[in-house]
Amino acid sequence: MQFRDLKAQYKRLKPEIDRAISSVLDSAQFIGGEVVNRLERTLADYVGVKHCISCANGTDALEIALKAMGIGNGDAVFVPDLTYFSTAEAVATVGAVPIFVDVCEQTFNLSAESLEVAIKQVEEDGDLKPKAVIPVDLYGLPADFPKIKEITRKHNLLVLEDAAQGFAGRIGEKKACSFGDVATTSFFPAKPLGCYGDGGAMFTDNDEWADMMRSLCVHGKGEHKYDNVRIGRNSRLDVIQAAILEVKFSALIEYELDAVNRVAKYYNEAIGERCQGPAIPEGFYSSFAQYTIKLESEDERDALAKRLSEKNIPTMIYYPIPMHRQKAFSALENKDEGFPVTERLVRTILSLPMGADITKEEIKSIAESFVG
């Protein structure tokens, strides 16, 4: 069994993907052009925002978005403690300081209550200027943006949605990548919408920021690429990846989203009360980048992972080291007691195989490895 079966997905989509790649090769248009522009229009229309700006990867998307939003030295940016390193890394790269925030025990996403406490603490300290929050749509589930945005409005903070894992999730009819002042996503192969290499994108309704992000993606270009008006970088989505994404986007919307939610339902039914499965609040819809469960203890989690491994069933731990304990951020001197929920979760969570091609029989085999 594969953790995320990209081979099975390719087999399903092979005729369309092969035609799309061949079309690019025949055109010899490998950088920029209509295929990339068309993908950006398609994704912006789907998400429901004015602008989609593609780039080379999800980390670049975060850094470019932060720069366009004017975030830098002396600014505090609030980041969930349970996330991939690049969320906080991007903050530090632009010169700002990541302030880590504990997460919700049920959803694993940023805790609105802990966020307000962290903001007030930074305001009281006075060393940094609270500037933005980066809620992460972890495992495919949108963060609690209704509550988070109540807080950010009160404290006059910007919101940068990190939807690297969350593309196609939604709250009500509003889709992921539309909740922030700017949002970013990743097209890493195993994401809900993934290409066959690296890729990323930024989304916004702000015309000025959109122009800035497009400029920063191409060496700080002005009216053309040899008119360099600021320091940028080389961060472009190549045409072959854009062509692949067009095919995979159609599959995602037409049936894969329904399929992964059906697989999640099968998991819930098969596993029952033997652990905490993904908590999907009422009105929320997950794109299930991962199916992540929480066990009672680290020993129970590790024993289950071992039993599954013996049956050649892969598992993953996202993420074993929380942000506040990463060596790269040791100078911030965060203490474990400030993040009790994250500390429990990193010892007890386990992600199981997930994807549109997993069968009921495979899920039954996984469920048989649980004890009790």
CATH of the domain at 11: 3.40.640.10
Q: Please report, to the nearest 10 degrees, the dihedral formed by the alpha carbons of residues 294, 296, 300, 302 taken in order.
A: 40
In terms of residue numbers, what domain contains 301?
A: 254-367
In this structure, the answer to whether residues 120 and 237 fall within a common structural domain is: yes
Last residue of a domain, one of 213, 229, 247: 247
Tokens of 181: 């002042």
In a domain, 1, yes or no: no
Last residue of a domain, one of 232, 247, 262: 247
In this structure, the answer to whether residues 86 and 168 fall within a common structural domain is: yes
Residue 187: which H helix or E strand, with range? none
pLDDT at 333: 85
Residue with tokens 């009819």: 173
First to last CA, the chain: 24
Q: Do 253 and 49 meet the contact criterion of CB atoms below 8 Å apart?
A: no
In this structure, the answer to whether residues 266 and 212 fall within a common structural domain is: no
In a domain, 188, yes or no: yes
DSSP 3-state of 155: helix
Tokens of 69: 């939003």
Backbone angles phi, psi at 247, to 5 degrees: -65, -45
Q: Do 339 and 322 meet the contact criterion of CB atoms below 8 Å apart?
A: yes
Last residue of a domain, one of 247, 267, 299: 247
Q: What is the mean pLDDT for each group of 10 consecutive residues in the chain (372 residues)?
A: 95 98 96 96 98 98 98 98 98 98 97 98 96 98 98 98 98 98 98 98 98 97 93 97 98 98 96 90 98 97 96 96 97 92 98 96 93 64
Q: What is the CATH number of the domain that holds 347?
A: 3.90.1150.10
CA distances from 94 to 63, 116, 218 (A): 7, 24, 17
The whole-angstrom separation of Cα 349 and Cα 217 is 36
**Core vs surface per residue 260-296: b (16+ CB within 10 A) or e:** bbebbebbeebbeebbbbbebbeebbbbbbbbbbbbe
In this structure, the answer to whether residues 304 and 286 fall within a common structural domain is: yes
In a domain, 38, yes or no: yes
In a domain, 372, yes or no: no
pLDDT at 273: 82
Q: Where are any strands of DSSP class E within 68-213?
A: 75-80, 97-101, 129-133, 158-162, 170-171, 174-175, 182-186, 200-204
Q: At what angle do helices 58-68 and 85-93 cross, to 10 degrees?
A: 40
In this structure, the answer to whether residues 218 and 259 fall within a common structural domain is: no
In a domain, 10, yes or no: yes
pLDDT at 148: 98
Dihedral sign for Cα atoms in the order 283, 139, 8, 250? positive
In a domain, 60, yes or no: yes
CA distances from 344 to 303, 317, 322 (A): 17, 13, 11
Helix and strand numbers, DSSP H then E, in the chain: 12, 12
In this structure, the answer to whether residues 267 and 184 fall within a common structural domain is: no
pLDDT at 122: 97
pLDDT at 372: 53
The whole-angstrom separation of Cα 357 and Cα 363 is 11
Q: At what angle do helices 58-68 and 207-217 cross, to 10 degrees?
A: 130
In this structure, how many other beta carbons lie within 10 angstroms of the beta carbon of residue 6? 15
The whole-angstrom separation of Cα 289 and Cα 184 is 15
pLDDT at 360: 94
In this structure, the answer to whether residues 14 and 116 fall within a common structural domain is: yes
Total domains in the fold of the chain: 2
In this structure, the answer to whether residues 232 and 204 fall within a common structural domain is: yes
In this structure, the answer to whether residues 216 and 339 fall within a common structural domain is: no
In SS3 terms, 232-248 reads as: CCECCCEHHHHHHHHHH
The whole-angstrom separation of Cα 347 and Cα 109 is 16
CA distances from 324 to 99, 188, 344 (A): 9, 25, 14
Q: pTM for this structure? A: 0.97
